[in-house]
Structures are given as C-alpha cells and as structure tokens.
C-alpha cells in the first residue's frame, strides 16, 4: 500500500463509464464518517480526487460510480476522519517529563519558565514541533492547532511534514522567546503573518494571546482586531485555574468570559483553551457568541487545574473540541487517550455513567475540533466535498476483539498506536505506522541533542 497500488484489474478503461479518480479505498471493514448522523458504514469505501473526497459510501455504491487510478483494499481496517488536536504547544515535546508531580506554580516558575527562557529558540521550536507532529501523525491526528513562540519555525516543521495545522504566534505582555520587548509584539505578530507560507493549502496562521492574566485588555483588543482583519483564528487560554479566575474577577469586577466579551473578543473566530471554571452565565455567553472551546482533560487532570464543565457546555450548545495541551503536562500527544479520558473523567466527576457518551466524545475529537479551529467546511468528517484527511486503524488485534460497536472501540479501546495509515489531502503521510518523507530517527536525535542541553 505504501508503494503505488495498482488499479483494480478486470475492467477495460475504454469501455468503463465510471468516473476516474485518483484513489479508491474499498472494503473498509468499518467506515466511521462522523457525519451529522454519525453514520458507520460496514464494507465502506471512499473515492478521493485532487485531495478531496469525491464520494463516501458502501463499496458496492462507490465501485459502481468510480474507478481509481490507485485502488486500495482496506478490509480489516476501521477508517475515521483524521483527528483534530484543538490545543497544543508543539515545541514543548522537548520538555516531556520535566518536573512532574509538582505544585503548579513551582512547576511553572522553577521548571518550565526557566527552561523556556533558556532554550525556546528557533532550533528548539522547529525540532520540538516536528517531533510532536511525528507523534501526532502516527496517532491519527491530521490537524493540530498550535500556540507558541518563534511560530514561523513551527510552521516550517508543519510544512516539512505535510500535516494540516493552524499555527498561532504567541503574544504576552512580558519578555518572551523571540520577543524580548513586549512593546514590539505587534510588529512581531505582523511580521509572522507577512512571512507565513502562502499557497500551502494545509497551513493557516493564527495569533495566540496567552491569557487574560498575562495580557492587558489593550493587548487582547489589538490582537483580536488583527485576527478579524486577516480573517484568522484568535486563540487564548481561558479560566484554566481557579486562582486566575479569582484574581481576574477581583481586578476587573467581572468573570473572565465576560471580560473577553466586553472587549469584543468572543465570536466564532475565537478559540478558548481549557475553560475549566466557567459558571452557568459564562457557558451561556460562549454558546450565544459561538466561541469555541478546546477541552484538555489529561493536562487539566495532571496539573489539577480543574475539571471543565463539559456536559453543561455541550448541553448549552457550546462547540467543544479536544486537545492534548503541551507535552510537558500530559505527557504524550495521543488524542485517543484524550477521548478515553474525556469520556471517563466527567462520568467520575459527576457520578453519572451516562454523561459524555462515546459518540459525543468522538464528535468532539473530529467535528468539534474542526469547527473550533475554524475549518469546519473542510475537515472533521468523511463526506463528499471535504478534504481527504483520514486514518486507518488495524482492527485485527486482541484488544479490539470482539467488536460490537466501532464508536465504542474508538473511544474506549483503540490507542494511537493502532493507527497504521494516515492520509492528508489525499496524500499518504503515514504508512504501516511510519511517517512518510521524514526520518523519524533523525528528528528524535535532534530533540535528544536539545534535551541534553536542557538537562544541563
């Protein structure tokens, strides 16, 4: 499959009235579409042309209408839309496992901030992001929404890998990697947008305003204005910890979500990461404004930051995607793990085994994320006209046997390591578990080199 697959034989092209497309994938044991009805098709098939899904259906339906220049049999596999990691700081894979199990402020001020001050340079951002991309691709993530500094180097890594990405240059009101003078942050943001690789259909720029407790109202306002002007995603950390909510509420006389709303920031082009400490009125506000949320269960659990009111947000109609957050507080980038955690955490926390059912959670990791990062028209489901971004999972494994319900398996039993093949824009980016066109060992070697200097 990794080499060119021959077209299916047995038909004479000259007399074949079927539409010829780039690639037909047929006999998929379970095709999980994540369409509006969460349709799961046994013996499914996809017709892919020019990086786009020409059609989705049963093998019989697709083979009646399409002939592939390449033709691949995916029996024994489950195919699902590529997952969307709605919140990550890719470069932070360089800090994986650095200072676990510490109080949050000690971890930040004694471990992470000093490490970033000393090591977050273009070299670290490129290689750290590339390592994260390799890990995500192997785990079936086809789109990630990033926020960090030196973000042009993150974009370079994304471009080199073929992954789809929304890349947010970080903005904060204190000296930061690549922005020693916060007074020049706007200049820096504009330079990032100017230099952003044009004409790469898989990459979109964004700005990432760190948080309401690290950015002034003025900063948040100009960043949002710039995003609106350029039509790009505005990202912000919102109400991750109880402490910051208390501090902000005391300072501004209103809760953080209402503060953002007063600044005109809450709209469908804004993505709020975490949203752990929203009250009912803030949840209603986010739903009304159409702002998205990236829920990061593992990071929130590990840092004891709080448990997001996900069942309430979903019930209120807030659009919620799933994210891993940075590697340092996770410590991996496996969105299948996040799905399992999201499904179970809220059940445990609410003492209710019915909340966050598997279908809702899979929706968050696909459709919810696609909408949250502003790409709902192109990705998140397998439907005609959408991008050909999908992953194939090997079902012939003991821990996936027996199979009563493919969606249950995706949330409660599949691991990222079960992903065997991945396609993005119709191009195969993972084959037999190996990222195509990148030397994984070389990427790991560079990150080990960077880690050696961090260790010192």
Binding to a copy of itself (CB under 8 A): which residues in 316-345?
330-334, 337, 340-341, 343-345
- Which one, 72 or 299, has the nearer CB to a copy of itself? 299
- Which one, 24 or 345, has the nearer CB to a copy of itself? 345
* Interface with a copy of itself in residues 382-421 (CB under 8 A): 396-399, 401-405, 408-409, 412-413, 415-418
Strand partners for 32:
40
Q: Which of 51, 197, 268, 357 touches a copy of itself (CB under 8 A)? A: 357
What is the pairing mode between strands 319-322 and 292-295? parallel
Strand partners for 25:
46, 72
Q: Which of 347, 383, 394, 427 touches a copy of itself (CB under 8 A)? A: 347
- Which one, 15 or 351, has the nearer CB to a copy of itself? 351
Backbone φ/ψ region at 351: left (φ over 0), alpha (ψ -120 to 50), beta: left
Residue 212: count of CB within 10 angstroms of its CB: 26
- Which one, 262 or 448, has the nearer CB to a copy of itself? 448
Q: How far is the CB of 55 from a copy of itself (least distance, A)?
A: 29
Q: Taking a C-beta distance cutoff of 8 angstroms, is the pair 287, 274 a contact?
A: no
Tokens 């947008």 appear where?
Answer: 193
427-440: burial string, b at 16+ Cβ within 10 Å, e else: bbbbbeeebbebee
* Interface with a copy of itself in residues 129-168 (CB under 8 A): 131, 134-135, 138-139
Q: How far is the CB of 450 from a copy of itself (least distance, A)?
A: 8
String of contacts with a copy of itself for each residue 283-322, x by CB under 8 A: ---------------x-xxxxx-xx---------------
Per rule CB under 8 A, is residue 2 in the interface with a copy of itself? Answer: no
Strand partners for 292:
271, 319
* Closest to 142 in 3D by CA, of 435, 394, 341, 351: 435
Q: How far is the CB of 126 from a copy of itself (least distance, A)?
A: 15
Q: Taking a C-beta distance cutoff of 8 angstroms, is the pair 40, 31 a contact?
A: yes
Q: How far is the CB of 424 from a copy of itself (least distance, A)?
A: 17
- Which one, 68 or 368, has the nearer CB to a copy of itself? 368
* Interface with a copy of itself in residues 240-279 (CB under 8 A): 242
Q: Taking a C-beta distance cutoff of 8 angstroms, is the pair 140, 146 a contact?
A: no
- Which one, 193 or 362, has the nearer CB to a copy of itself? 362
Q: Please say whether the dihedral angle defined by the alpha carbons of residues 397, 359, 204 and 113, taken in this order, is positive or negative.
A: negative
* Interface with a copy of itself in residues 169-208 (CB under 8 A): none
Element counts in the chain: helices (H) and strands (E): 17, 17
Per rule CB under 8 A, is residue 107 in the interface with a copy of itself? Answer: yes
Q: How far is the CB of 18 from a copy of itself (least distance, A)?
A: 34
Q: Could you give the C-alpha distances from 148 to 13, 115, 137, in angstroms and in order?
A: 51, 14, 19
Q: How far is the CB of 315 from a copy of itself (least distance, A)?
A: 16
Piece in contact with a copy of itself (CB under 8 A), picked from 47-55, 91-99, 166-174, 230-238: 91-99
Question: What does the alpha-carbon distance between residue 118 and residue 136 come to, in Å, rounded to a whole number?
Answer: 26
Q: How far is the CB of 89 from a copy of itself (least distance, A)?
A: 16
- Which one, 130 or 370, has the nearer CB to a copy of itself? 130
Residue 11: count of CB within 10 angstroms of its CB: 12
Piece in contact with a copy of itself (CB under 8 A), picked from 4-12, 22-30, 200-208, 444-452: 444-452
Say how many residues touch a copy of itself, by CB under 8 A: 73
Q: Taking a C-beta distance cutoff of 8 angstroms, is the pair 379, 370 a contact?
A: yes
* Closest to 295 in 3D by CA, of 273, 271, 266: 273
């Amino acid at each position: 499959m990794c080499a060119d697959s021959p077209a299916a034989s047995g038909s004479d092209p000259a007399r074949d009235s079927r539409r010829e497309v780039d690639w037909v994938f047929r006999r998929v044991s379970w095709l999980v579409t994540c369409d509006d009805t969460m349709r799961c098709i046994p013996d499914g098939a996809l017709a892919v042309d020019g990086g786009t899904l020409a059609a989705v259906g049963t093998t019989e339906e697709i083979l009646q209408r399409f002939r592939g220049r390449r033709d691949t049999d995916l029996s024994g596999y489950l195919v699902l839309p590529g997952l969307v990691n709605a919140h990550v700081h890719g470069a932070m894979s360089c800090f994986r496992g650095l200072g676990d199990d510490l109080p949050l402020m000690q971890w930040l001020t004694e471990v992470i901030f000093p490490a970033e001050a000393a090591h977050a340079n273009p070299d670290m951002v490129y290689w750290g992001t590339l390592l994260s991309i390799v890990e995500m691709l192997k785990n079936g993530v086809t789109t990630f929404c990033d926020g960090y500094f030196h973000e042009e180097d993150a974009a370079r890594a994304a471009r080199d890998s073929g992954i789809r990405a929304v890349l947010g240059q970080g903005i904060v009101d204190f000296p930061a990697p690549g922005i020693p003078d916060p007074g020049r942050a706007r200049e820096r943001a504009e330079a990032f947008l100017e230099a952003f690789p044009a004409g790469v259909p898989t990459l979109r720029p964004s700005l990432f305003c760190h948080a309401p407790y690290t950015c002034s109202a003025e900063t948040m306002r100009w960043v949002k204005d710039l995003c609106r002007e350029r039509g790009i995603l505005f990202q912000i950390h919102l109400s991750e910890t109880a402490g910051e909510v208390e501090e902000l509420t005391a300072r501004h006389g209103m809760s953080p979500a209402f503060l953002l709303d007063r600044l005109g920031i809450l709209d469908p082009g804004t993505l709020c990461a975490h949203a752990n400490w929203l009250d009912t009125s803030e949840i209603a506000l986010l739903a009304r404004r159409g702002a998205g949320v990236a829920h990061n269960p593992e990071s929130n659990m590990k840092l004891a930051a709080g448990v997001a009111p996900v069942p309430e947000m979903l019930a209120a109609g807030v659009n919620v995607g799933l994210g891993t957050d940075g590697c340092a507080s996770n410590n991996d980038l496996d969105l299948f793990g996040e799905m399992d955690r999201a499904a179970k955490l809220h059940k445990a926390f609410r003492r209710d085994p019915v909340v966050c059912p598997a279908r809702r959670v899979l929706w968050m990791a696909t459709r919810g994320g696609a909408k949250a990062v502003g790409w709902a028209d192109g990705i998140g489901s397998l439907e005609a006209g959408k991008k050909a971004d999908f992953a194939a999972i090997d079902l012939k494994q003991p821990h996936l046997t027996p199979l009563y319900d493919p969606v249950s398996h995706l949330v409660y039993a599949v691991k990222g390591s079960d992903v065997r093949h991945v396609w993005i824009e119709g191009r195969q980016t993972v084959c037999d578990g190996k990222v195509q066109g990148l030397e994984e060992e070389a990427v790991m070697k560079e990150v080990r080199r960077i880690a050696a200097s961090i260790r010192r």
